[in-house]
Structure 1
Amino acid sequence: MELKPLKGQHHVSAITANAKENYRFYTKVLGMRLVKKTVNQDDTSVYHLFYADERGNPGTDLTFFEIPNAGRTHKGTNSISTTSLRVPSDEALNYWVKRLEAEGVEHDGVSTESGRGSLAFRDFEGQRLMLVSDELNKGVEGGKPWEKSPVPEEYAIRGLGPVHLTVAKRENTEKILTDLMGYRRKGSYSTKIGEKQFDVNILETGEGGTGAEVHIIERPDLPIERPGRGSVHHVAYRVESEEELKKWVELLNELRIPSSGFVERYYFRSLYFREANGILFELATDGPGFEGDEDFDHLGEKLALPPYFENQRDQIEARLKPLETKE
């Protein structure tokens, strides 16, 4: 079966215990646009918030499930351990140092990772984030920042950068990414964690570049991560079309790899499965996008529900704590 290469990151979905503060941080501090305020389609009692570029182009979405009683994350292996966000240039990183400090956000200062300028920091719940410079990027293009962002366009976040996976057995994860998902090995670099140096392998897909890389570090010395607020739930990779996604469903069935099968998410179509170390992967189509139920100027202002949940709107809204997102 001939499959087209995956196109890079589609979105990353994480966990928050506080939707109100999450909204403030990602829109007011990081300057991303809330393009959709909806619910977790597998548990409609909780919010699902999508932050992205101006219209939620694929490859720009960082999303959060609100789980109010989520405990703290016990960091460890077999996890999506850092989500990186693209900014236009090395100069932008200097802007962000000042901005994060002005907002009281803990960061590690500007450094170089895999040949790119980077700035690691944490949100209010300890979510592990990193800004990476697109100055030398020659691969997948970034998104277009929203013109009403509090961050000037020349410094604004343009989408998702490399996703970092920490695993107990790197070979197992890399085999899934290369042999099944069509990634290719790009290289490696060394990073310091505590007093030790660790090698990080880089895999890429499609056009490559900042928005199409997975960075994998092997840490058999760590316990398995226990997720909670400030952890990542899953990473999704871009599939061109619904037709292509159905080919992936067929392939996983042929290989007897357990999966969700085809899932209708209204804003895109999906397929979920776990790689060999237990990390949840999603394949998601580039469309239809977020403007099927809201126009561009009003994205994220009201609670949006896919048509198949509209008849439950009253019950769903009654279970949710009000969240004001209209400016």
Structure 2
Amino acid sequence: MQLKGIHHVSAITANAKQNYDFYTNIMGMRLVKKTVNQDAPSMYHLFYADEKGRPGTDLTFFEIHRAGQTYPGTRSISTTSLRVKSDKALTYWKDRFQKYQVDHDGIIDRFGRKTLSFRDPEGQRLTLISDEKNEGVASGDSWDHAPVPQEYGITGLGPVHLTVNEASKTEEVLTEVLGFRKKGTYEQRVVYETGEGGNGAEVHIEEKREGKPEKPGRGSVHHVAFRVSDEDELKKWEETIQASGFPHSGIVDRYYFKSIYFREANHILFELATDGPGFSTDEDENHLGEKLALPPFLEDKRKEIENHLTQLDTSRTRE
């Protein structure tokens, strides 16, 4: 068994409307599913991804209206990366961030790749990473109806950056339980990879032994999910996690994929998720994310759920 790479990253927003505006109109990502948190259906769960919503391209957000400020620290997924095709694309994005007054840094080299760090309006910590020298897991395709030229568009998720108190504990989980390989180091961070490797299959770990745990809120990351081929393999992973001694959720049916959740030794929430069946299970591919989608087990509560949600117009017309 081998995990294929990053499946999705799920974060927290306090304002779904503002979040939708930023990630579609500024970042040019496609909303491929407007649904709810299945464990708390009174809140939105928004999925932004590539043109088809492929696994490995999903950045998702739970809307928690009263989410307070995030106080960064350890035991956290500190930065999420988004992939672009080329170094030239980063220059485009730097100009675009200046135009739209998006808080950002300069273009720098990290671990042999060009990167551009920035923050969304709620302080979500993000980095664009160039695939120009990338070898490994293939990216998706940027959305052809985005307000961003397709050659510069976002094509998927890149490495996630974890900040922990004791790096050896997380390393043990990654390598001994989940089968990651150590790839190298840079700037006091250690890089691990899985599957075919590359930008879409890496976890970067930074150790801060005396750091205080992060206080999560709006702009923080809730969990990271890793890709599993299918349910049969997920069952084998369930046995592996059980044997490792970590408490876990068991297999949970999320309708668009099936998952297992557990907290690694530094208390960061990991998820293993199947590649399928995917987001076109209940919507036409040309109209993903335009209406509120509910899994069958919540459909009979649609009116009640809609009454608790703030209005969010995501309708659009495709040419």
2:36 aligned counterpart, secondary structure: strand
Question: 2:54 matched to which residue of 1?
Answer: 57
SS in 2 for 1:27: helix
Q: Supply the distance in 2 between the matched residues of 1:183 and 1:257 (Cα, whole angstroms).
A: 17
Could you tell me how far apart the structure 2 residues matched to 1:286 and 1:292 are? 12
Match of 2:16 in 1: 19
Quote the residue 2:288 is aligned against.
Answer: 299
In the other structure, the counterpart of 1:5 is 2
Structure 1 position 256, deviation (Å): 2.8
Hey, what does 1:187 align to over in structure 2? 184
| 1:143 matched to 2:140 | yes
Matching residue of 1:70? 67
Matched, 1:210 2:199: yes
Residue 221 of structure 1, CA deviation: 2.6
- Looking at structure 2, the residues matched to 26 and 259 of structure 1 have their Cα atoms a distance apart, in angstroms, of 32
Indicate yes or no: 2:44 matched with 1:42: no
**In 2, Cα distance between equivalents of 1:248 and 1:140:** 21
Q: How far apart are the structure 2 equivalents of 1:212 and 1:250?
A: 23
2:221 to 219, 232, 235: 232
The correspondence for 2:89, drawn from 87, 92, 98, is: 92
Alignment deviations for residues 237-259 of structure 1 (CA, whole Å, 9 cap, x no partner): 00000000011112222333200
Which runs of no fewer than 5 residues in structure 2 stay unpaired?
A: none
Q: 2:25 aligns with which of 25, 28, 49?
A: 28
- Report 1:276-291 matches (<5 A): 276-291=265-280
The answer to whether the aligner puts 1:219 opposite 2:216 as a matched pair is no
Aligned-partner Cα distance in 2 for 1:160–1:303: 24
Equivalent in the alignment of 1:243: 232
Distance in 2 separating the partners of 1:254 and 1:64: 31
TM-superposed CA distance for 1:94, in Å, is 0.3
Of 163, 167, 177, which residue of structure 1 is paired with 2:164?
Answer: 167
Match for residue 132 of structure 1? 129
Residue of 109, 119, 124 corresponding to 1:122: 119
Aligned position for 1:311? 300
TM-score (norm 2): 0.98
Displacement of 1:205 after TM fit?
Answer: 0.4
Match of 1:321 among 294, 300, 310: 310
The residue type equivalent to 2:299 in the other structure is E
Q: Percent identity?
A: 63
2:194, 2:201 within 8 Å by CA — same for their partners in 1? yes
2:241 is matched with 252
Is 1:264 aligned to 2:253, yes or no? yes
* AA of the residue aligned to 1:66: E
Contact 2:177 2:240 in 1 (8 A): no
Q: Match for 2:175 among 173, 178, 196?
A: 178
Q: Of 149, 154, 165, which residue of structure 2 is paired with 1:152?
A: 149
TM-score by length of 1: 0.96
What is the SS of the residue equivalent to 1:58? coil
Amino acid at match of 1:224: P
Describe the superposition over 1:183-236 as per-residue Cα deviations: whole angstroms up to 9, x where unpaired: 00000011xxxxxxxx00000000000100000000123210010000000000
1:54 is displaced (CA, Å) by 0.7
CA distance in 2 between counterparts of 1:115 and 1:11 reads: 24
